[in-house]
Structure 1
Amino acid sequence: MSIFNFPPPSVQLAGDQKNMNLILLSFSLFLLISSPKPISAQDSAAGDGGDGAGDGGGAAGDGGSGAGDAGDGGGGDGGSDGGRGGTGGGGGGGKNRTEEVTPPEEMNTCNGVFLQYNFISKEKEFPYLDNATAQSWAFKSELVAINAGTTEVRAWKALVGFHHDEVLVSTEGGSILNVGASFPFKVDGNGTYVVGYPQSDLKTAIETAGDMSQMAAKVKFKGSLFGGKEGNCPMPKKLKLENDGFKCPAPTKKGKFKKGACKTKEGPYNNTVSLISSDKSMHVCCKKDPKYKVKRRKTKFYPRQNGAVSFTYDVVQANEGNYMAQITIDNHHPLSRLDKWNLTFEWTRNEFIYDMRGAYTRRRDLSECLLSPAGQYYTNLDFTKVMNCDKKPVISDLPPTLKNDDKIGKFPFCCRNGSILPKIMNGGESKAMFQMTVFKLPPDLDRTSFYPPRNWKIEGYVSPNYKCTQPIRVDPSEFSDPTGTDATVYAMASYQVVCNITRPKPQKAKCCVSFSAYYADSVVPCNTCACGCEDEDTEKCNPMARAVLLPPEAMLVPSANRTKKARAWARVKHIDLPRRLPCPDNCPVSLNWHLDSNFRTGWTARLTIFNWGTHPFEDWFTGLQFKKAFKGFKNVHAFNGTKLPKVGRHGTIFMQGLPGTNYLIPIQHRRRGEMPVPGKQQSVLSFHKRDTPKIKVTKGDGFPTKVIFNGEECALPKRLPKKNGGFRLPGAGILPTAVVVAFLTFVFISF
């Protein structure tokens, strides 16, 4: 017998077939597991990008899913080849890549930049209301910008004149440049400034051989609007290119805009297909202005903007998986100031702060780091040494005691307890600076992918309210060579955030003003709830009632303890009081403006500053603005006064304490049963009438129209002091003048 024992032919055939089936099944499973994901339309349009294949891979090619998905996070710049924005940068992949655009017929006659706004859909939102004006609608629209001219448009910017109380929830393919534009963003009456991201530049057909992916950009909007009946198409009132050197005519509408024209219901936003030749659209062709003188630009980035406060986010060092950022805070406004500042922003790519120098985060939570995406990726990292893993960290300045600390101190412009002064007071203390090491997560681990944080916000104790823009890429910052040579060192990438001062909302101020005069017995106190009434029992006091008149001595008592004096004064002066008295002003700082005298050649006033809070004010300042009295300002006693003619509509009188009076102490609590004593400073201002002959001092011109303390605009009274029945000229020995002036002077000296 042969040593090979073959089975019968029929059995052998069946076994071979079974083995073959197993082999085919295993091979199919292997292909299914190991095969790359299907190539999407965006990936195939990315050219040489792909998922790491071809020339440059997904991070540095023309997009590709490997380049990262910026989405609404914004800010990504530079793929592994260091490209800026556009289709080559770190924010150029995924859904943020410029979609394929088909030129409409209207563009055939355009020799410039063609803008088109397409209205996609709107749908009624909850709550459903009978009032059509108050009814909200969810809308979707898009803006398309195409360069049909012969000149490249760098850093294109367009104005979309939304005017239906729109609230933008998200954008795709662009960013909002308005001050304070963080989502949800309520559009004001001036419209919305839109910049392309990542497609920030619009190249010409000549230099791209008609490649629409480089010539055009599309920005999608999603949000809510108010008003308008069902079926109406809410279109912007303006559409224009905001780049220098272009002129735009009035936009032209296309399609039916009558009742019922927009009575269509689209699918989900991501699945909605919108053609550029929309039946409900408006377009405009912006052409080069032949009279415009071209200004040579040294870089292709956005020009640096001006504002009250600016942040510069410089990438000064980059490694695989992390980079070092240097943040500079500059105070440019002469009346802007920050004390004990707290800075916050929002990471968009799961970044976290490993360490810092020159500042610190207010919160360190190890458990949050371990449970975050960073903890899941960096499994071998010691997170006990990590500074912060919050998505929205709160950053503060170091105290002076840590200025020379070897680990977190020894950094320029730091360690002043969060004090940033205006340049008019101290140019060396008008900025702050700190560094931080930022760790990144996939797919942004290469050394040239940078995504600055968004939604910047800075606050301080009795400081102005700021609204900030989103970060924009600007020309790299310049630094001196640390080795001591004359060489200039440039940042790898620089971004700028600009913040401007906004007026405080009613009952949201941080300081207030009271008025008094030599001709009036009563003092007009600060407004009710001038600084808020969140902690007040509104069943015991009325937050909406007008503040009642008070005797002069009540100004030395905390606003919450003036009830007895107000009732007693009302009985003496026969003043009608409501059953529920007004709530106190609750301000940590108050100022009293007392009109002291008024003569034929001049007049005087007395300013008293009260600190009702527990924090002292070192190097404080105040600014006064008048409608007519600015030109007549002569001198200020006990303070250092300066006229700023270019600040404010009618100029500003800037005052700060002299040595010995530049420190405003906090409130001092006495023994039990005794009223606390506020910290205070006082001075007299003198004015002449030579340059203001028509001024009417007692009828309102002698009272400031705007008062600023440490940069914060204080709430002003809504009425002026009234003359008494026995009014006489000042200096005639009338009782009200003696009582008010002598009492305030005595109290100031005695304390």
Structure 2
Amino acid sequence: MAGSFCHLVRSPWFLVVIGLVVVSLPGAVTYDALDPDGKIMIRWDIISWTGDGYTATVNIINTQQYRGIRSYRLGWKWAKKEIIWTMQGAQATEQGDCTRHPTNPPPHSCSLTPAIIDLLPGQPYNLQSANCCRDGVIAAAALDPKNSVSTFQITVGNTGVTNTTINIPQKLTLGSPGPGYTCSALKKVTQTKFPSSDGKRTTQAYVTWNATCQYSQNIAHPAPVCCVSISAFYSPKIVPCPDCACNCPPKSTTPGPHALAGTDQTCIAPNDQQALQNALLKEKKPPSLFCTKDMCPVKIHWHLKENYKQYWRAKMTITNRNLQVNYTNWNLVVQHPNFVNFTRAFSFTEKSLTPYGDIANDTAMFWGVKYYNDMLMQAGPEGNVQSEVLFAKDSTFTLRNGWGFPSHVYFNGDLCILPDPSDYPSLPNGSSKLRGGLALLVCTLVSFAVSLTSLF
């Protein structure tokens, strides 16, 4: 019995179930079974002392494999009445009350609870620091490791001037751009060492503080943000996203924007183009997304497209129904047992993820090709990206019981809602090896229907 339990605990599916259970706990910091070591680390290195304080380099380091940050907003509470004299590579959103410091120029910020944001690209050299000036975008570690760190430099005044008299900033917060991350307290750790440019000498920070921030989808979003619809070449049935997957649609069918229950958002019918244009021009708060039965801002469609002798093929389409958001550097994570035999993605970049070490290889991450489809545009004709994926067959291949469809799908790190497996398309006559002329005919008809419906 004990051996069986230990085998169960080591199973990747056990980890997934545990992760989903933790997600369901109100206010819990999510354990991500696909990225158990993923986090945001805040490293605060004091590199020099000043007359009334210090200069520090602050690094925001993303070790999450597939979850990036669209636009960071880092905040904290000063322990006493510290001020920010200057900043490079970032800026405080408010100056605060600096009447106690009548200097010229005045301090950069005297707020007791500063909020720090990144600078836009193209800043003058004297305002930059290393790894800055990307408008707060911090890439996922697996997608773009070189841009998974953001850095700024800060000169702090009205504080201690030795490593025993300074006070640690308190109550760290990280927004991206809204809530979602829960941060630990900054703690003093072993000082960071910095190699010289020639690599022959090292220096070290006077003081180093570290904190970690963990993501929770439950905190970030009151409801899911994406859903999955499916279809297959062997059936005319298209299984849509579940009704009310992300929210329930408004009951009104009159033209114009409609309020969404429990939110401050509105939606508008996809085919109501005139009302949409009027709303975008005249409404104080334009509609947020298209009205659909599932009310999800993002829809992923998985079409099981072809069954060859030695390979099988699927098509993935990502549709953005959000009227106000472009998804820069989007990514999609898919779990399927046949990723161990993954062969090729035709229009996306792909990387295998191995969250369970050598136990399984059933997870892959996809993202856009740079300068081609790495930005998912807001709702409209350009608001979708798609690619076909090819798999080699092995002895586990079957078309029975929905095996050809993914078990989990994540968009930008958030878990998407899948249809009920009992609704999946059924094989005609129970065949698990459908192919030939009938398959080709059905495939053509279904592909045509999918192309018409995948826009919304």
TM-score, normalisation: structure 2: 0.71
Give the count of matched residue pairs: 391
Corresponding residue of 1:633: 342
Q: SS of 1:699's equivalent?
A: helix
Corresponding residue of 1:434: 152
- Within-5 A mapping of 1:351-750: 351-361=82-92, 363-365=93-95, 368-370=96-98, 375=99, 378-382=100-104, 385-402=106-123, 404-406=124-126, 408-409=127-128, 411-440=129-158, 444=160, 448-460=164-176, 465-481=180-196, 486-504=200-218, 507-518=222-233, 519-525=235-241, 528=244, 530=246, 560-561=268-269, 584-598=293-307, 601-613=310-322, 614-626=324-336, 628-646=337-355, 650-667=361-378, 676-690=380-394, 693-719=395-421, 721-723=423-425, 729=434, 731-732=437-438, 737-745=443-451
Task: List per-residue Cα deviations over 1:471-525 (Å, max 9, x = no partner).
Answer: 121100112348x783321111101112334344685334333233332433322
Change in 2 beyond 3 A, CA 1:514/1:439: farther
Task: List per-residue Cα deviations over 1:190-243 (Å, max 9, x = no partner).
Answer: 9xxxxxxxxxxxxxxxxxxxxxxxxxxxxxxxxxxxxxxxxxxxxxxxxxxxxx
Report if aligned partners of 2:239, 2:425 keep a CA contact under 8 Å in 1.
Answer: no
Q: SS of 1:369's equivalent?
A: coil
Cα deviation for residue 732 of structure 1 reads 0.9
Residue type at the aligned position of 1:453:
P
Report if aligned partners of 1:464, 1:711 keep a CA contact under 8 Å in 2.
Answer: no
Residue type at the aligned position of 1:514:
S
Report if aligned partners of 1:633, 1:688 keep a CA contact under 8 Å in 2.
Answer: yes
Q: SS of 2:66's equivalent?
A: coil
Q: CA–CA distance in 2 between the matches of 1:347 and 1:525?
A: 47
Q: CA–CA distance in 2 between the matches of 1:507 and 1:597?
A: 38
Q: CA–CA distance in 1 between the matches of 2:188 and 2:298?
A: 39
Change in 2 beyond 3 A, CA 1:446/1:333: closer
Q: SS of 2:444's equivalent?
A: helix
Q: CA–CA distance in 2 between the matches of 1:594 and 1:485?
A: 52
Report if aligned partners of 1:321, 1:446 keep a CA contact under 8 Å in 2.
Answer: no
Q: CA–CA distance in 2 between the matches of 1:320 and 1:660?
A: 48
Residue type at the aligned position of 1:511:
C
Cα deviation for residue 429 of structure 1 reads 1.4
Identical columns (%): 23
Task: List per-residue Cα deviations over 1:305-353 (Å, max 9, x = no partner).
Answer: x652211011112234322121111222322312222222232323232
Task: List per-residue Cα deviations over 1:434-462 (Å, max 9, x = no partner).
Answer: 01112236xx576742223233332336x
Change in 2 beyond 3 A, CA 1:501/1:678: same
Q: CA–CA distance in 1 between the matches of 2:293 and 2:77?
A: 36
Q: CA–CA distance in 1 between the matches of 2:107 and 2:132?
A: 21
Q: SS of 1:335's equivalent?
A: coil
Cα deviation for residue 689 of structure 1 reads 2.7
- Within-5 A mapping of 1:54-453: 307-361=38-92, 363-365=93-95, 368-370=96-98, 375=99, 378-382=100-104, 385-402=106-123, 404-406=124-126, 408-409=127-128, 411-440=129-158, 444=160, 448-453=164-169
Cα deviation for residue 413 of structure 1 reads 0.8
Q: CA–CA distance in 2 between the matches of 1:722 and 1:329?
A: 43
Q: CA–CA distance in 1 between the matches of 2:207 and 2:62?
A: 22
Q: SS of 2:241's equivalent?
A: coil
Corresponding residue of 1:146: none
Q: SS of 2:238's equivalent?
A: coil
Q: SS of 2:97's equivalent?
A: helix
Change in 2 beyond 3 A, CA 1:679/1:325: same
Q: SS of 1:732's equivalent?
A: helix
Cα deviation for residue 742 of structure 1 reads 1.9
Residue type at the aligned position of 2:97:
C
Corresponding residue of 1:277: none
Q: CA–CA distance in 1 between the matches of 2:170 and 2:293?
A: 38
Change in 2 beyond 3 A, CA 1:736/1:720: farther
Corresponding residue of 1:9: none
Report if aligned partners of 1:354, 1:439 keep a CA contact under 8 Å in 2.
Answer: yes
Q: CA–CA distance in 2 between the matches of 1:620 and 1:611?
A: 11
Q: CA–CA distance in 2 between the matches of 1:445 and 1:659?
A: 46
Q: SS of 2:448's equivalent?
A: helix
Q: CA–CA distance in 2 between the matches of 1:485 and 1:638?
A: 41
Cα deviation for residue 719 of structure 1 reads 4.6
Task: List per-residue Cα deviations over 1:261-309 (Å, max 9, x = no partner).
Answer: xxxxxxxxxxxxxxxxxxxxxxxxxxxxxxxxxxxxxxxxxxxxx6522
Residue type at the aligned position of 1:472:
K
Cα deviation for residue 721 of structure 1 reads 4.0
Cα deviation for residue 396 of structure 1 reads 1.6
TM-score, normalisation: structure 1: 0.46
Change in 2 beyond 3 A, CA 1:328/1:709: same
The unaligned stretches of length 5 or more in structure 2 are: 1-25, 32-36, 273-290
Corresponding residue of 1:57: none
RMSD of aligned residue pairs (Cα, Å): 4.1
Change in 2 beyond 3 A, CA 1:418/1:379: closer
Report if aligned partners of 1:309, 1:333 keep a CA contact under 8 Å in 2.
Answer: yes
Q: CA–CA distance in 1 between the matches of 2:155 and 2:349?
A: 43
Cα deviation for residue 433 of structure 1 reads 0.6
Corresponding residue of 1:254: none
Corresponding residue of 2:22: none
Corresponding residue of 1:94: none
Q: CA–CA distance in 1 between the matches of 2:376 and 2:396?
A: 40
Q: SS of 2:244's equivalent?
A: coil
Larger gyration radius, structure 1 or structure 2: 1
Q: CA–CA distance in 2 between the matches of 1:347 and 1:393?
A: 8
Report if aligned partners of 1:610, 1:678 keep a CA contact under 8 Å in 2.
Answer: no
